């Protein structure tokens, strides 16, 4: 696969005020980290530079080259996207952390789960609860998975999958605690609770409905006595 190159600039200033100014101008603030760097490097890049990496592939498993156009040294570090901060209200990415990599050296990153299939429990009214959606892993940069698939199709009500049950490539080491529950299928609420919940949603408490019914029964009994 062709290696992508991003054009970035050394950032002149840091701080929230300058970062907001960059975003208004169509730029994205970023930071370059790396175990071999004496200190982190503040960067900035144009939004359009991201269109090739924000695709169906996970940005965190793509190895990129950074072309730092205003640096003195002619160096194009190899990096991955360690994290991307999004603005969920306005949409789009508002900050990126790059991690410089070294060939042959393992790194630590997170990989998202992709849940596959419909559980057996869902088919009979069960409720699926996703408790963990990503794991921390250690591997070589070239071995970072785009996602880790989790097949849930065999799970019935009361069943669950833990981190240790998830299949990962042999070259990938999972660092997240293996006993953490990833997904579980729980029973639906009892029918009585469901009815009470429906009555509550309609604005009439279940107890009040029962009292009204009892009052109605007494009135009917008294009417029958008078008629007899």
Q: 98 and 15, same structural domain?
A: yes
pLDDT of 198 > 70? The answer is no
DSSP symbols for 23-73? HHTTEEEEEEE-TT-SS-EEEEEEGGGGTTTSSSS-GGG--EEEEETT-SS
Of 102, 136, 152, the last residue of a domain is 102
Counting every residue, how long is the chain? 228
Residue 135: closest CA among 110, 115, 116: 110
Q: 203 and 168, same structural domain?
A: no
Q: Is the Cβ–Cβ distance between 114 and 61 less than 8 Å?
A: no
Residue 76: per-residue pLDDT: 86
Q: Is the Cβ–Cβ distance between 99 and 33 less than 8 Å?
A: yes
Q: Structural domain of residue 209, as residue ranges? A: 191-227
CATH of the domain at 98: 2.40.240.10
**Least confident stretch, 43-57, 159-173, 201-215:** 201-215
Higher pLDDT, 89 or 174: 174
pLDDT in tens, 89-138: 776 788 999 999 888 889 888 899 999 999 999 999 999 999 999 999 99
Token reading at 200? 């509550």
E-state strands within 50-168:
64-68, 78-86, 93-100, 107-116, 127-130, 134-139, 148-151, 160-162
Instruction: Give the mean pLDDT of 153-173.
Output: 97
Task: Count how many domains the chain has.
Answer: 3
Residue 199: per-residue pLDDT: 57
Q: 63 and 13, same structural domain?
A: yes
Higher pLDDT, 171 or 50: 171
Residue 209: per-residue pLDDT: 44
pLDDT of 57 > 50? The answer is no
Instruction: Give the mean pLDDT of 43-65.
Output: 71
Q: 89 and 8, same structural domain?
A: yes
Give the Å distances, CA to CA, from 209 to 102, 191, 199, 206, 215.
70, 17, 9, 5, 10
Token reading at 100? 């410089």
DSSP 174: E
Dist CA 69 CA 162 (whole Å): 46
Residue 228: per-residue pLDDT: 52
Q: 120 and 94, same structural domain?
A: no
Q: What is the mean pLDDT of the chain?
A: 82
pTM for this one? 0.65
Q: 199 and 156, same structural domain?
A: no
Instruction: Give the mean pLDDT of 133-152.
Output: 92
Q: 157 and 124, same structural domain?
A: yes
pLDDT in tens, 22-33: 888 989 999 999
**Least confident stretch, 49-58, 74-83, 84-93, 187-196:** 49-58
Angle between helices 206-227 and 191-201 (to 10 degrees): 90
Name the residue with tokens 């293996």: 178
pLDDT of 14 > 90? The answer is no
Residue 185: per-residue pLDDT: 97
DSSP 164: G
Instruction: Give the mean pLDDT of 79-87.
Output: 84
Higher pLDDT, 177 or 89: 177
pLDDT of 203 > 60? The answer is no
Q: 97 and 50, same structural domain?
A: yes
């Amino acid at each position: 696969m062709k290696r992508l190159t991003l054009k970035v600039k050394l950032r002149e200033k840091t701080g929230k005020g300058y970062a907001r100014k960059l975003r208004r101008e169509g730029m994205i603030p970023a930071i370059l980290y790396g175990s071999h760097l004496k200190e982190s490097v503040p960067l900035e890049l144009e939004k359009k530079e991201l269109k090739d990496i924000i695709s169906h592939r996970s940005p965190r498993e793509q190895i990129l080259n950074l072309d730092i156009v205003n640096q003195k040294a002619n160096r194009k570090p190899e990096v991955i996207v360690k994290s991307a901060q999004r603005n969920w209200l306005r949409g789009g990415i508002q900050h990126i952390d790059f991690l410089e990599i070294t060939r042959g050296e393992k790194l630590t990153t997170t990989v998202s789960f992709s849940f596959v299939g419909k559980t057996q429990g869902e088919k009979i009214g069960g409720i699926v609860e996703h408790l963990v959606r990503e794991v921390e892993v250690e591997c070589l940069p070239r071995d970072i998975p785009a996602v880790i698939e989790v097949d849930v199709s065999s799970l019935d009500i009361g069943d669950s999958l833990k981190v240790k049950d998830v299949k990962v490539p042999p070259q990938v080491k999972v660092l997240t605690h293996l006993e953490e529950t990833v997904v579980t299928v729980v029973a639906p609420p009892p029918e009585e609770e469901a009815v009470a919940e429906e009555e509550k949603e309609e604005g009439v408490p279940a107890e009040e409905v029962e009292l009204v019914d009892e009052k109605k029964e007494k009135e009917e009994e008294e009417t029958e006595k008078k008629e007899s």
